[in-house]
Structure 1
C-alpha cells in the first residue's frame, strides 16, 4: 500500500526550511539529518562520485557537511519502493481495462510507467542540484512558500485519497466477510458497509492513529505487498475456474451474479447484467463515458514520488544512478503485477468488472475459502495502513499551523479526528471508489508525477540553459502534466454532471 516506508519519511515534515537561515553563508541549507549546499556549481558527476554531497572541498568553497550514511541495500530499497508504489489502485485496473480495451490499456500503462520513471529522474537530479531530500523543501527552494504549500497540499490530497480507497475496501469487503459467517444477515445493520466503516474507524483506526509513535505499524508495508501478491495469484487462478459465459442461462447462479453485480453498493444506477457470448469476448479498443477514468486510475496507481527522496537518503553508497536503478527495477516489477492483475481480472468478468475488482468475485464465490482468506488479509493490511498514511498528513498540518508550538495532546487529537471524519465522509457519501481514484489521480497524482518535478527541475537546475535538450524536455513534460490534469478533471466533472442528470435506469456505471 502507498505509505511512508522509511523512518525518515515519517519525520521529515518536522523540518522547517524557513528556520535554516542561521548560517552566515546564504548558499548553505540545513536538511535533516544533514547539511548540504544549495549551489549548483558542481556537476552531477562530482556529486555522485562523492556519494551525494559528503565533506569535500568543492571548487573555491569548502562545504561543512554532516554526511548521513544510508544503510539500505539495493535489494531492500527495491522492496521498499515496491511497497510505496503498490496500493489499492491495483483493484481498479481491471475496471480501467474494461473501459479502454486491452491494447489501449497496455499503451496507457506503458506510457504512465515511463512518465513516472522520467519524473523520478527529474526529482533525483533536482535533489542533487538543490541540496534537499524532502519534497516540500525542494518546493520551498524553488518557489518559496507557494512551492512548499503546493507540494504539501498535493501530498496531503494523495494520502487522503489513499486512506479513502483503503476505507472503501473495508466498506465493500467487510460486509461480505460477515455474511459468510452469519446466515440471513443481509438486512442487519452489521452488514451495512457505512456503519462498519464508522465502527472500524472509531474502535481500531482512531486509537492507533492517536499514538505519537506508530512503531510496529510501519511493518504493515510488507504485509500489504504480500497480500497484493496473494491477491494477484488468486485472480490468475480464478480466471481458469470461472467459464464465460456461464453454463445454463437463467440459472440460479446467473440470477445471483446479476443481483450482486448490480447491487447498490457497487452500481447505484445499474441495469441488468447480460452474460451473453458477445459480452465475454475481449475488446482491444473501447471508448465510452468511463474511459476518462483510465489515466487518473493509472497515475494514482504509480504515485510514489514523496517516498523517493527519503529512500534516496537511506540508500547505502548512494548515487543518483544507483537510485535510478532502484526505481527502474521497482517500476518494472509493479508494471508486471499491474498488467497481470488487470488482464486476468478483465478476462474473468469482461464488461461486468466493477471499480473494485475483489468485490466482483462475491457474485460467484460467496463461500470460497481462498477468497475469504484474501479478503481477511487485505482488510487487515488496509486497516493497519490507514494510521501510517495519516501520520505524515497530521504532521504536515501541525507544522503549517503550529510550527513554533510545543506538542499538545488536544491539538494532536483534534487534527486526527478531523482528518478521519473528512475521510469517512468521502467514503460514505461518494458513491463509488472509481470517483476517488479519478479525482485524486487527475489532481494530486498529476501534480506529483508531472507538474512539480518538472517545475522544480526547471527552476533549481541552473547549469543547464532553457535551450538545452534537458530543459526543453522538462518544459514539455510540465505542459503535458497540465494537459493531463485539466483534461482529465474536465472530462470527469462532465461525467459527474451527466450522471447526476441521468435517470436511474439510463446509467449503468459505464457498462
Structure 2
C-alpha cells in the first residue's frame, strides 16, 4: 500500500520513477542495479525449480536416460522456446491468464499438502507423535531470507497499480466505497485518498488473505505430517506415484513459469530508468529487446550451472530482496515524514510572520529596536545564499563562476534593482517591507518632490555595504596581530606570576588591582557567620 500511495502522489509509472521523484537520482541509480540483480536471481531460481520439477516428472513416464528429461535440456528449451517470447510482451495485462493459472496452482498445491499431511496424521496410532508445540531455535532465522523472497510480487506493485482501473470490482465489495469514509477510522487503519487506491486496497487484502491462508495451512499440515524431517521442497516428500502429487508438481512448474516473465518486466523497466538517467529519454525499442534476449540467455546459463535451490534463495533473499522490499519503502516513509514536518514548520513560520506583520501596530506606532536591527541585518545575511546559488548554478554554466569573484558587487547590484523597485512602490527597502515597515519624513509631511532623493538613499545604502565589507576585511587582516598580542601579554603575566615577579596572573586582574589568595580559617568563619 505504501508504494501505491507514493506512486499516485508522484504520478509514477514505474518503480524507478517513484524512487527518482521521491528520493533522488542517486538512489534511483542504486535501485536500478539492485533491482536488475534481484530479479535476475529470482528468474534463475524459477528456472532451477522448473528444471527440477519437470525433470522428475519426465523420469516417471520416460526413460531417465532420455535426453528430453535431462534437466539442462528442459531449462534451455523452456527458457529460449517459451519464456523468451513471453518476456518480449510490453504490458503485464497480456500475462493476466498466467497470473490466474499461478493462483489456481498455488491453491491446488496447498490443498494437496493439506490432504497428504492430514492422511499421515490419521495413519499414526498417536496422531501427534513427534510434534513439539514450542521450540526455540536460532536456526529458524535461516528461513527469513526465504520469506523475504516470497515478497517478490512487490516489485510489480507500481506497474500493477498503473494498469488498475479506478472503478470498484468484486474484490472491494465489502469495503467503504468513498475515501471520506476512511477518515473516521482509527489511526492504524489505511486511509486511501482516491477510488483507485481503494481498489488497490481490495487487491492487496484479497491477495494477502489467499497467501496467508495458504501458507498457514501448508505450514501446519506439513509439520504435522512430517514432524521429524522434511526436504527444502515439500513436494519431493509426497508419494511420487500418486497422481495428485504429480499434478501438484506440474502446477508448481507452471506457476514459476508464469512468474518468470512477471519478474522480468520490472527488470526491463529498471533498464529504462538507467537509460533515462544517462540522458536517453526515448530509447529505441530494440534496446529493450536486446536486454530481454541477454537477460534470458544469461539466466538460463546460470540456472544450468547452479543446482542448490536453497543456497540461491538465501543469497537473494538476504541481500537484494531485503533492500527492495524493506529498506526502500521505509526510506520513503521517513522522507515523507520529514517533508511533512518541514512543511508544517514552514506553515507555522509563515503564519507567525504574517501575524507579526499584522499585529505590529498602526502607522503611527514606532517600530521596535529589534525590528529595525532585523531589517538592517537581513540583506547581509542574503550574501551566503547568493554565493551558494551561484556556486550551484556555475556547475552547469561555467561563466557564472566568474561572478563569485565579485560577490559583493553582484549583491550590491541586485539589491540596487530590488530596493529601487521596492522604494518606488511601497516607500521602503526590500528588507523593510518584509517587516511591515515603510519610510516617511520626520516632520510627517509627504511630498512628491522628495522622491528623487531615493537615488541618494540607494547610493548611500550601497556605499554603507561597501564600507562595511572593507571594515570587515580590515578587521580580519588585523585580528591575527591583535590576538597574538593578547596571547603574548597573557603568557608574560603567567611567566611573571610563576617567577613571583607579579602579584596577578592575568592582565585584567592587574588592571583592576586584584590578585588571587588562599582562603584562610578566619575567612571561612566569617562566611559561615554571614550565611547563618
- Normalising by structure 1, report the TM-score: 0.53
CA 1:422–1:284: 2 relative to 1, 3 Å: farther
1:225 pairs with 2:103: yes
Report the equivalent of 1:167: 47
Per-residue deviation, 1:234: 0.7
C-alpha contact (below 8 Å) 1:303/1:448 kept by paired residues: no
CA 1:286–1:130: 2 relative to 1, 3 Å: same
Report the equivalent of 1:500: none
Report the equivalent of 1:374: 248
Query: Larger Rg: 1 or 2?
Result: 2
- Aligned counterparts of 2:203 and 2:224: Cα–Cα separation in 1: 32
CA 1:462–1:377: 2 relative to 1, 3 Å: same
Q: 1:327 aligns with which of 201, 204, 209?
A: 204
- Aligned counterparts of 1:358 and 1:224: Cα–Cα separation in 2: 16
- Aligned counterparts of 1:216 and 1:327: Cα–Cα separation in 2: 20
- Aligned counterparts of 1:316 and 1:176: Cα–Cα separation in 2: 44
Report the equivalent of 1:294: 143
Deviation readout 1:52-106 (Å, 9 max, x if unpaired): xxxxxxxxxxxxxxxxxxxxxxxxxxxxxxxxxxxxxxxxxxxxxxxxxxxxxxx
C-alpha contact (below 8 Å) 1:214/1:388 kept by paired residues: yes
Q: 2:83 aligns with which of 184, 190, 205?
A: 205
CA 1:415–1:303: 2 relative to 1, 3 Å: closer
Number of residue pairs matched?
313
Q: 1:179 aligns with which of 49, 54, 59?
A: 59
1:416 pairs with 2:292: yes
1:449 pairs with 2:325: yes
Per-residue deviation, 1:187: 4.0
Consecutive unaligned residues of structure 1, counting only runs of 5 or more, are 1-119, 248-276, 469-511
Q: 2:233 aligns with which of 341, 353, 356?
A: 356
- Normalising by structure 2, report the TM-score: 0.51
- Aligned counterparts of 2:90 and 2:204: Cα–Cα separation in 1: 31
Consecutive unaligned residues of structure 2, counting only runs of 5 or more, are 168-177, 180-190, 193-197, 345-532
1:147 pairs with 2:34: no
Report the equivalent of 1:281: 131
- Aligned counterparts of 2:12 and 2:316: Cα–Cα separation in 1: 26
CA 1:168–1:348: 2 relative to 1, 3 Å: farther
Deviation readout 1:127-179 (Å, 9 max, x if unpaired): 46545454322311233222212333343334323322321221221122112
Report the equivalent of 1:239: 117
Per-residue deviation, 1:124: 4.6
Per-residue deviation, 1:235: 0.7
Deviation readout 1:326-351 (Å, 9 max, x if unpaired): 53453233222111112222222234
Per-residue deviation, 1:201: 1.5
Report the equivalent of 1:347: 224
Q: 1:354 is paired with a residue of what secondary structure? A: coil
Q: 1:350 is paired with a residue of what secondary structure? A: coil
Q: 1:433 aligns with which of 275, 287, 309?
A: 309
Q: 1:205 is paired with a residue of what secondary structure? A: helix
Per-residue deviation, 1:428: 3.0
- Aligned counterparts of 1:211 and 1:337: Cα–Cα separation in 2: 30
Q: 1:285 is paired with a residue of what secondary structure? A: coil
CA 1:125–1:417: 2 relative to 1, 3 Å: closer
Q: 1:304 is paired with a residue of what secondary structure? A: helix
Per-residue deviation, 1:126: 3.9
C-alpha contact (below 8 Å) 1:163/1:386 kept by paired residues: yes
- Aligned counterparts of 1:338 and 1:448: Cα–Cα separation in 2: 22
1:392 pairs with 2:266: yes
CA 1:240–1:169: 2 relative to 1, 3 Å: same
Report the equivalent of 1:76: none
Q: 2:166 aligns with which of 312, 316, 321?
A: 316
Per-residue deviation, 1:462: 4.9
Per-residue deviation, 1:393: 1.7
Per-residue deviation, 1:205: 1.9
Q: 1:465 is paired with a residue of what secondary structure? A: helix
Per-residue deviation, 1:295: 1.1
Per-residue deviation, 1:226: 0.5
Q: 1:242 is paired with a residue of what secondary structure? A: helix
- Aligned counterparts of 2:293 and 2:13: Cα–Cα separation in 1: 30
